[in-house]
Amino acid sequence: MDLTLAICVYDKEEWIAETLDSVMSQTVRDFNLLIIDDASTDRSVEMVEAYFRQYPRQYTLIRLESNHGIGYCRYLAEREASTRYLMFLDSDDVLLPTAIAKMWEKIQSDSDLMAVGCHLAYVDQNTSLIGGGLYLGATSKEEFYEKAAAKKLIFMQPTAIYDREAALSVGGYSVEGFPEGPVRYQDFCEDLDLWTRMSDLYTEGKAIIVIPEVLAYYRKLGSGLSSNTLPMLLKMRWVKQCLLDRREGRKPLCFKDWMESYPAKDMSKLRKEAKATDYLRRGALRIHRGNPFGVFDILYSILLKPGYFADKLHKNLLNR
């Protein structure tokens, strides 16, 4: 099997063994396994090594001396892998037994496919289903071509098998041109950025699709307001502008230059949208956990950005 499964690890000692169990339980196993430790401060590496002493199989372990972030680890994996196809798995997520087999069979069935993903269901820290999930992506080539031609962002979860050569032809995971500082923008929406750049290849008949079936569990651990929403929204705006620039024959700005030129009035609107997003998320989580005060979070979100709640409800419930 011409495939490398890459797991980027940072401080996941509580879940890494369960993740590796799900890898070892796959119905196909003849893929390369690459593990990149991003300078973990806990016992993650020791647990990986102990796991494979107990359950021997070939794997490659790369240990970084300092923390670089998920964007760099994926960038590194693309260049360390020797196979044509690559797949990432978060170090606290869980694959269902047929996940790799089904995605591999699909991508091998059609030379036009450059990436095949799947749906993911949310689980909590105890791997109990909590409702919701990541149900993103086109389910047919025709749907993908329509989105790509219309200059749409390509949303798909990172748990996907993709053509590494196609990805590298458009630059692969991006780690250059970001500002230095406490916010590591290269780690936000890094998959959206890659899939959207790969979508330019639709003119060559290439496509990115998902199998509309839950084949993995995504561990959702957040419980409160987030400091990540604004950077994510900024990164999404930049990815969209780069897409428009490429399609219209202009050279896209790097993120640092683009952010420096971002209008102050638009930044103010984006901050309000980020706040509305955070309160809506917290409200929904509170209600799910039986806390009626979550209603007030949702009402505040609606006050901040009228229409946002209805839009999210439509996208998450009606279009799954």
- In order of 101, 115, 239, 301, the CA distances from 186 in angstroms are 31, 21, 11, 28
Residue labelled with tokens 């269901």: 121
Q: What's the number of CA atoms in the CB half-sphere (13 Å) around residue 286?
A: 16
Q: How far apart are CA 283 and CA 66, in angstroms?
A: 36
At 62, is the secondary structure helix, strand, or coil?
A: strand
3-219: which CATH architecture?
A: Alpha-Beta Complex (3.90)
For β-strands 3-9 and 32-37, DSSP reports them as parallel
Q: Do strands 85-90 and 3-9 pair parallel, antiparallel, or not at all (unpaired)?
A: parallel
What is the chain's alpha carbon radius of gyration, rounded to the nearest angstrom? 20
**Residue 279, number of CB atoms within 10 A of its CB:** 24
Per-residue pLDDT of the chain (320 residues; tens, 9 = 90+): 999 999 999 999 999 999 999 999 999 999 999 999 999 999 999 999 999 999 999 999 999 999 999 999 999 999 999 999 999 999 999 999 999 999 999 999 999 999 999 999 999 999 999 888 999 999 999 999 999 999 999 999 989 999 999 999 999 999 999 999 889 999 999 999 999 999 999 999 999 999 999 999 999 886 555 468 899 999 999 999 999 999 999 999 999 999 999 988 888 888 877 777 766 666 666 776 677 867 766 775 666 666 655 565 555 544 44
Q: Around Cβ 13, how many Cβ atoms within 10 Å?
A: 17
